[in-house]
Structure 1
Amino acid sequence: MAEKKKTFEEAMSRLDEIVTRLEKGDTPLEESLKLFEEGTKLMKQCSGLLDKAEQKVQQLTAGADGAPVEVPFMTEGE
């Protein structure tokens, strides 16, 4: 049975748990490898979800004349 895809928030929360466990350094090697593999999959999933969200926002952004205008995302430092 295929595993249900996590929401972005669920994936990020699980990824945070994995990082915390790996940073402790007391996880056996075999389990660390499994956690690393799971974390890599979650990173790819989160990246894909963010890419889709960015594309959707760009499609929904419209200029003054109603025509779509691509507007770059601004980060807090900009």
Structure 2
Amino acid sequence: MEEPVESLSFEAALKQLETIVSRLESGDTPLQDAIDLYERGDRLRSLCAERLDTAQARIEAIRLDPAGNPAGTRPFAAG
């Protein structure tokens, strides 16, 4: 029985996702197995994206004063 996706670390989820992609790309997987793998891969992708979004929200950028000295932090803004 496979471990529930929600309980995996980011690294474990990413590794499983890479394995699934490799298996699907090989073309040797029976149709029902490919469908099952695709569904698990989609759940893994969602988990990884969620964990990355959470990590990104926690990153802070250092603010500098006019002289270039650290003057505090502000939330990271992607863009």
When the two structures are superposed, what TM-score results if normalisation uses the length of structure 1? Answer: 0.76
| Structure 1: tracts of 5 or more residues without a match | 74-78
When the two structures are superposed, what TM-score results if normalisation uses the length of structure 2? Answer: 0.75
Moved more, 16-25 or 4-13: 4-13
Q: Distance in 1 between matches of 2:57 and 2:26?
A: 37
Describe the SS at the equivalent of 1:51: helix
Task: State the shift of 1:72 in Å.
Answer: 4.7
Structure with max Cα Rg = 2
Q: Distance in 1 between matches of 2:10 and 2:53?
A: 12
2:71 corresponds to which residue?
Answer: 65
Root-mean-square deviation over aligned CA pairs:
2.0
1:21-65 Cα offsets, whole Å, 9 max, x none, are 00110110000000000000000000000000000003xx34233
1:76 corresponds to which residue?
Answer: none
Aligned partner letter, 1:19: V
Q: How do 1:1-78 residues align onto structure 2 when only pairs under 5 Å count? A: 3=4, 5-58=7-60, 61-63=61-63, 64-66=70-72, 68-72=73-77
Q: Distance in 2 between matches of 1:45 and 1:38?
A: 11
Aligned partner letter, 1:65: A
Cα 1:71–1:52 shift into 2, 3 Å = closer
Aligned partner letter, 1:25: G
